[in-house]
Amino acid sequence: KTLSELPHPSGRVPLLGDIRSVDRHRPTQHEAHLARELGPIFQRLLLRDRLVVVGGAKLAKETLDEQSWGRVLVGPLAKLREIVTSGLFTARSSDPLWGQARRILTPGFSQAAMRAYHHAMQTVADDLAVKWKEDPDVDVHSDMTAATLEIIGRAGFSTPMGLLGDHAAASQGTDAFVAALSRVLAWASESTNDLPVIGPIREVFAAPGIRRDVNYVRGFVDDIIERRQKDSSVENDDLLGLMLTTRDTETGELLPVENVRDQVLTFLAAGHETTAALLEVALYHLAADPSVGDLIVAEELSDGAALDYDEVVRLRRIKALINECLRLCPPAPGFFRIARSDQELGGYLVPAGRAVFVLSLAAQRDPAVWGADADEFRADRFLGKRLTASSPEFFAPWGTGPRSCIGRQFAIHETTLLTGALLSKYRLTLDKPVELRLRERATLRPEPFRIVATPRGRTR
């Protein structure tokens, strides 16, 4: 069967297509809903653009085969490319600079590197714990934004961002940077869901504001790079140092400085939004059911003591909890795959060169492989579970293949450390019963909510 025969949402309009079935603000959540209704593979047609969505675990798993499928830059990624052309995330795989940067940066994400970053991550956890002691009424969104940016700043660039701790007074325009970056990401993801007619019109009105934001964000990044180039006292063993001083083993070349700028921006953006989203989901669940945290503390965390690198690596209950958060609320809710040659997927012919959208958000909740309680948050689901390429479960929150997340171990170490450090000191509760609602701005991230952090030992 051809792709035009795929199931589609009801209420198709002549010419315009499935226009009634577009949710500009929560597109992937709406698509996950449609996947339940329409099955493991469906289409949504807008004018002549047909989006093919793969939401069933079995079919989604088939697209992970690198022989038959590859990565492709469409959707929000293509939009982001207009701003960050040659960063790791947005560069084409065929661009020699992508391979060069990936080779230069890979040691920056090794186990040895994580050991080196541990201390910087720990200082952020300490700063946050002090902040919560002074004010136990926690705005989770703003604190996780601050914590993740501080971590990438301090660990990756040896540059405190001025958002937490002693450095907070000396904020260097980071708040304005966060606001501008957030608007740019919103622009990239929302304009992808515009109708081909409306898009260009909206673009004209948004353009001056977005251009201003992009300039601000670039200036902020240039300052970080310039400060480093002038400061010879910093050792060049962090990510920024690697980028500025390491020669590629294959080409013998240094990265061009415009490329370093794109990489720094990529790391600031890719490294904070996603990780903050994950931490927020974890804190939500811990606060919604404090008994989950109590069990973790009883089993894995001796009261309040600082965790060293090896202890963090051994926190298996927290890792299971984090995986469950990634399964239910993947910060990157899906990714595009392109057929390298004609492929058959679920009985439909996907011609060579055709892209499909693999919706992790749906496939990671597919009851056919995750069970009847697939939609439920069960922190111990991953305890003792080892997923391999041949497991039936689809679980790809870090993407797949050579373009999968380079920051995976960094993100796992920082979220495990922060969750462990905070949980060992505080019992968390929601300040009022709220549902977890996710908004979409390139990432899937909780809407702001508050928790109350009560020091352990003085639990109400």
Beta strand residue intervals within 47-100, DSSP E: 49-54, 69-71
Kind plus residue range of the DSSP H or E element containing 451: strand 450-455
Nearest to 242 by CA among 349, 104, 421, 79: 104
Q: How far is the CB of 342 from ligand HEM (least distance, A)?
A: 22
Q: How far is the CB of 360 from ligand HEM (least distance, A)?
A: 8
- Residue 349: count other Cβ atoms within 10 Å of its Cβ: 14
Separation CA 79–CA 230 (nearest Å): 33
**Structural contact between residues 357 and 52, judged by C-beta atoms closer than 8 angstroms:** yes
| Residue with smaller CB distance to ligand HEM, 45 or 51 | 51
**Structural contact between residues 439 and 331, judged by C-beta atoms closer than 8 angstroms:** no
| Residue with smaller CB distance to ligand HEM, 77 or 452 | 77
Q: How far is the CB of 61 from ligand HEM (least distance, A)?
A: 16
| Residue with smaller CB distance to ligand HEM, 317 or 413 | 413
Q: How far is the CB of 71 from ligand HEM (least distance, A)?
A: 5
| Residue with smaller CB distance to ligand HEM, 158 or 429 | 158
| Residue with smaller CB distance to ligand HEM, 71 or 425 | 71
Nearest to 413 by CA among 145, 156, 36, 85: 156
| Residue with smaller CB distance to ligand HEM, 100 or 266 | 266
Separation CA 444–CA 217 (nearest Å): 22
| Residue with smaller CB distance to ligand HEM, 38 or 361 | 361
| Residue with smaller CB distance to ligand HEM, 42 or 410 | 410
Q: How far is the CB of 101 from ligand HEM (least distance, A)?
A: 8
Separation CA 73–CA 77 (nearest Å): 6
- Helix, strand or coil for residue 304? coil
Q: How far is the CB of 275 from ligand HEM (least distance, A)?
A: 4
Q: How far is the CB of 410 from ligand HEM (least distance, A)?
A: 5
| Residue with smaller CB distance to ligand HEM, 395 or 398 | 398
Q: How far is the CB of 110 from ligand HEM (least distance, A)?
A: 13
Q: How far is the CB of 455 from ligand HEM (least distance, A)?
A: 28
Residue environment code for 30-65, b if the CB has 16+ CB neighbours within 10 A, otherwise e: bbbbbbeebebbbbbbbeeebbbbbbbbebbbbbbe
Residue 338 phi/psi, 5-degree rounding, is -120, 135
- Helix, strand or coil for residue 338? strand
The residue ranges that bind ligand HEM (CB under 6 A) are 71, 77, 88-89, 102, 152, 266-267, 270-271, 274-275, 278, 331-332, 335, 397-399, 403-407, 410-411
| Residue with smaller CB distance to ligand HEM, 128 or 278 | 278
Q: How far is the CB of 100 from ligand HEM (least distance, A)?
A: 11
Give the chain's largest Cα–Cα span: 66
Separation CA 173–CA 171 (nearest Å): 6
**Structural contact between residues 395 and 387, judged by C-beta atoms closer than 8 angstroms:** yes
Residue nearest ligand HEM, Cβ-based: 407
Separation CA 431–CA 137 (nearest Å): 8
Task: Give the angle subtended at the CA of 60 by the CAs of 277 and 109, to the nearest 5°.
Answer: 45
